[in-house]
Copies of this chain bind each other. A is one copy, B any other.
Amino acid sequence: MEALSYFTAMAGTVAFAVTAVLAVSKRGIDLFGACVLGITTAIGGGTIRDLVLDVPVFWATDLNYIWVGLISSLATFVALPFFKRKFIYLLLLYIDGFGASLFAIQAMDKVWELNFGLPVAPILLGVTTAIGGGVTRDVLAGRKTLIMSRELYATPVLFGCILFSIASYVLPEYRATWASVCIAIIFGIRSAAIHWKLSVPNWLMTQTAEDDLD
């Protein structure tokens, strides 16, 4: 079980790094930029979480995260056409979605263990862990961040994190079970969003009318 969790975390790290390099590659980046943006995406969210928690950053004690992020970034840079193949890219999108689900709930679990600002802070830090790396990448690459996009990516993560927080607060003895359920829910919504190209519905958006203030 532990090994499975570790394996999926590494698969998620690969997907984060590869999709990051793919996302920025068309802007023309060099080898250095590819490595920086790939690694930032892979470890950025968890790093912010650990800084806020004031615990050692997770990759300092387990360098595999950096190695995997680095090698994935390099491989993507070298073999862009391969990773852009429709099937491979789609597979990566799903693994990326699973990675985000896993990292969010794992992070909340870590925050919960530390008894840090329950029950709200775990939600903040779960979401930060899942999307912080991607947001940092977008800022560094000068892209519109996913906070401003209509892609159904962060919203399912937020939804799953809120659910996990309520469930863990009300029924703490089943936290491990809830963790699996919430990972499945986030991944399920994200998969549906990828498959049917869903985006955030209109009623969850502010108007972008012309008659606006400022």
Contacts and interface: CB of A to CB of B under 8 A. Distances in A.
A91 interface: no
A77 B205 CA distance: 9
A213 B22 contact: yes
B214 A23 contact: yes
B27 A121 contact: no
Interface residues of A, number: 63
Contacts of A205: 28-30
A179 interface: no
A26 to B, nearest CB: 4
A26 B145 CA distance: 16
Nearest to A208: B28
Nearest to A201: B30
B117 A60 contact: yes
Nearest to A64: B120
A116 B200 CA distance: 42
A39 B147 CA distance: 13
Contacts of A80: 206-207
A25 B206 contact: yes
A47 B56 contact: no
